[in-house]
Amino acid sequence: MQYLEEKLESKSADYARGLTSLQEELEAVNYYQQRYVTTANSELKEIVGHNRDEEIEHCCMLIEWLRRNMPGWDERLKTYLFTSAPLTEVEAGATGEGGGGSGAEGDLSIRAMR
């Protein structure tokens, strides 16, 4: 946790826990994927691939929790997920500018954090 939980209000502390957990799960997916592609032993490869897929499941669960609970996630996920257009075109259509968010409440862009 990057911030002391006792200094955060309850919702913010939960968001921080969820986001940190997502980072850790994504890191685990990356580690297992690297092991999967470099493992020559077929039985070990199967186990490592299974472990990777479990971590992906955990990531999805955390993303869904964030979508349900943290402002901004629901709108952005509805915009970007399950589309077939190039993502930068989807962004341009969603923002009207192609360069990120507008700074509105719930905006997850770096620009909005400044």
Q: Please answer whether residues 15 and 2 qualify as being in contact, where contact means their C-beta atoms are separated by less than 8 angstroms.
A: no
When pLDDT is cut at 50, 70 and 90, the band that residue 105 belongs to is low
Domain residue ranges in the chain: 9-70, 72-114
pLDDT higher than threshold 90 for residue 72: yes
Give the pLDDT confidence score for residue 22 in this predicted structure: 98
**DSSP code per residue over 13-75:** HHHHHHHHHHHHHHHHHHHHHHHHHH---HHHHHHHHHHHHHHHHHHHHHHHHHHHHSTTHHH
For residues 81 and 3, what is the distance between their CA atoms, to the nearest angstrom? 30
What are the tens digits of pLDDT across the range 48-61?
A: 999 999 999 999 99
What are the tens digits of pLDDT across the range 5-29?
A: 678 899 999 999 999 999 999 999 9
